[in-house]
A and B are shown apart, each in its own frame.
Chain A
Amino acid sequence: MHATSAEPLARDTEHRSRADARHDLIFRLLLRCCALIVLAALLGAALSTLWGGRDILFKDGLHFLFSSEWNPVEDKYGALAPIVGTLTTSLIALVIAVPISFGIALFLTEIAPNWMRGPVATAIELLAAIPSIIYGMWGLFIFAPFMASIEPWMNDTLGNIPLIGQLFQGPPLGLGLLTAGIVLAVMILPFISSVMREVFRTVPARLKESSYALGSTTWEVVWDIVLPYTRSAVIGGIFLGLGRALGETMAVTFVLGNSYNITASLLMPGTSISSSIANEFNEAVGLHRSALIALGFLLFVVTFIVLLIARLMLRQLARKEGR
């Protein structure tokens, strides 16, 4: 009697746990597939742009990278001018954004009274929320005319400094590499400063207090204690900003001036990889289109490497904390 009543129950339980195990397996596989889509997206972006750019890469090979001639009429394409433009604008952006971001992080972690920290930090981070097309419009309609008005002054003062003077000589167009670099600097400010602010807060209070106890000023504590302690993460944050600057399209397209001449002056118009693609892609056919997609591949590889370095540097600090 006992056996007959317990048997269906046991069978039932066994049946259920088997079903549960099956469902768990299916669920797990589904989740894993979704996670693998992230990998597929990155890999796909690299492979598809390489595939799309195969025509120009087979035809010109490495010459594509080092040729400065970009002539759709004669169907000749060289990537040097966009590469130089991308690197120059990003470098200008870093030179301006890094000290300002450091200042903001220093102000928000060491100087500002408590009631001020939250709102000011939120305001700075809102800069990152503004869509890049808005930066572009503001850059073209407001900031470029402003730059045009101060460029004659730049010619007369900065332009006369030996060695770097040549960089600041040129017609006061307002559009050009320098303007694009400054707009980019404003865009990447919030990214760099928020990383710096976060890592500055991870410095143990004991270290800072010890330094204060020895008679250090606030500046000495920041420069000699906080900065060395967070060095790798700070560099990571700067590379994160660099990655953003390299790939940014809309903010620079309007103010670069779209010229394929490589010049020594920062006041002259130029081009960048992303703005070449944005400006020309929809009118391009054949080899021209292939060259633009190959430029996209190049941009992807460079930003990938920069961001890889950034994340590795940022991870070092997390390790130090034992996270």
Chain B
Amino acid sequence: MSAVYARRRIVNVVALGLSGVATLIGLMFLVWILWITAQSGFGALKLSLFTKITAYGADGGLSNAIVGSLIMDLLAILICAPIGILAGTYLAEYASTTRLGATIRFLNDILLSAPSIVLGLFVYVIVVLPINSLTGGAISFSGFAGSVALALIGLPVIVRTTDEMLQLVPGTLREASLSLGIPQWKLTMQVLMRAAFSGILTGVLLALARLAGETAPLLFTAFGNMYMTAHPLDKMASLPQTIFQYTNDPDPALHAIAWAGALLITLFVLALSLLTRILFSRKKVSYE
């Protein structure tokens, strides 16, 4: 009897100990990756990164890639935020119980983890190729196509958060407004949107954090560019794509620049995701 008891206790201690080890392994990888990025990135950080373009190679900087990333990320958010917010509103306010609503919600969750490289191919086929044949080959890859690809990655994030946030708004608010006789579109735009504003903003920021680090869909939509451009129909450089290119290069001087770019992206993305956490936790408190 005591042998069984001892065995059970040993199994328990070993299993719980291993779970602690598993947590340590997870944390170790986080610290390892962030430490390497910070160490290699800060070591390579210099002013010329922000003032010189990538055409100079190892003597150059990343200014055109930084500008390209900012333009494409912003344009992508401008495309996916309105569509995503309205689609999320439809799910929460008009289709929370219908079959169509359930289907869209379900498929949106799938789009959320769909492979980004396939979304890049999709945009290549529906944006890059048509523009190419319309302009007779003058324009093919473009910053605009890159933005559309990134927008497809941000879209499901915004749809989902908007949907969830609107469902958190108390039903009494809707009933009170409707009883005053205002039409439903006014109720949605002027009452519910305002009540769920910080939650919806969280979704938009989350989407930005998600799409800012994406590389795969940009390779065959925006393509990349050695020179500075702000025109959305030009081929456009971006930080992730430049990092990809420089990492593939054998020149260690380019690796250093790539690490500096990697640090910039990581800082941006981590700052955004921590900010959304703060916004979101505040929101939770205000409802309790």
Chain A residues within CB distance 8 Å of chain B: 20-21, 23-24, 27-28, 30-32, 34-39, 41-42, 44-45, 48-49, 51-52, 99-104, 106-108, 110-112, 120, 122-124, 126-127, 129-138, 140-142, 186, 189-190, 193, 217-220, 222-223, 240, 243-244, 246-250, 254, 274, 277-278, 281-282, 293, 296-297, 299-300, 303-304, 307-308, 311
Beta-carbon nearest neighbor of A131 in chain B: B213
> Measured between C-beta atoms, what is the minimum distance from B230 to chain A in Å?
23
> Measured between C-beta atoms, what is the minimum distance from B102 to chain A in Å?
10
> Measured between C-beta atoms, what is the minimum distance from A44 to chain B in Å?
6
Give the chain A neighbours of B117 by CB distance below 8 A.
247, 249, 274, 277-278, 296, 299
Beta-carbon nearest neighbor of A111 in chain B: B16
Check if A249 sits within 8 Å of B115, measured CB to CB: yes
A34-B87, A104-B26, A219-B15 known; A45 vs B114 contact (CB < 8 Å)? yes
* Contact of B22 (CB < 8 Å), options: A104, A219, A304: A104
> Chain B interface mostly helix, strand, loop or mixed?
helix
* Contact of A38 (CB < 8 Å), options: B25, B118, B159: B159
A52-B125, A99-B22, A100-B22 known; A307 vs B27 contact (CB < 8 Å)? no
A39-B104, A282-B223 known; A124 vs B30 contact (CB < 8 Å)? yes
Check if A218 sits within 8 Å of B16, measured CB to CB: yes
A45-B119, A307-B110 known; A123 vs B86 contact (CB < 8 Å)? no
Check if B90 sits within 8 Å of A307, measured CB to CB: no
**Which one of B5-13, B49-57, B58-66 is at the interface?**
B5-13
* Contact of B12 (CB < 8 Å), options: A137, A217, A243: A217
Check if A131 sits within 8 Å of B219, measured CB to CB: no
Check if B104 sits within 8 Å of A31, measured CB to CB: no
Chain B residues within CB distance 8 Å of chain A: 8-9, 11-12, 15-16, 18-23, 25-27, 29-30, 32-34, 36-37, 40, 82-84, 86-87, 89-91, 93-95, 100-101, 103-104, 106-111, 113-119, 121-122, 124-126, 152, 155-156, 159, 183-185, 188, 209, 212-216, 219-220, 223, 240, 243-244, 247-248, 255, 258-259, 262, 265-266, 269-270, 273, 277
A52-B125, A307-B110 known; A124 vs B26 contact (CB < 8 Å)? yes
Could you tell me the distance between the alpha carbons of A100 and B254 in the complex, rounded to whole angstroms?
A: 36
Give the chain A neighbours of B23 by CB distance below 8 A.
103-104, 107-108, 112, 120, 124
Give the chain A neighbours of B22 by CB distance below 8 A.
99-104, 106-107
Could you tell me the distance between the alpha carbons of A146 and B47 in the complex, rounded to whole angstroms?
A: 32
Check if A133 sits within 8 Å of B20, measured CB to CB: no
19 cross-chain CB contacts under 8 A: A23-B185, A28-B90, A32-B90, A34-B90, A39-B104, A41-B111, A41-B122, A45-B118, A52-B124, A112-B23, A130-B269, A133-B213, A134-B33, A137-B247, A222-B15, A248-B115, A250-B240, A299-B118, A311-B106
Check if A303 sits within 8 Å of B115, measured CB to CB: yes
Check if A35 sits within 8 Å of B121, measured CB to CB: no
Check if B240 sits within 8 Å of A133, measured CB to CB: yes
Check if A219 sits within 8 Å of B11, measured CB to CB: yes
Could you tell me the distance between the alpha carbons of A34 and B82 in the complex, rounded to whole angstroms?
A: 9
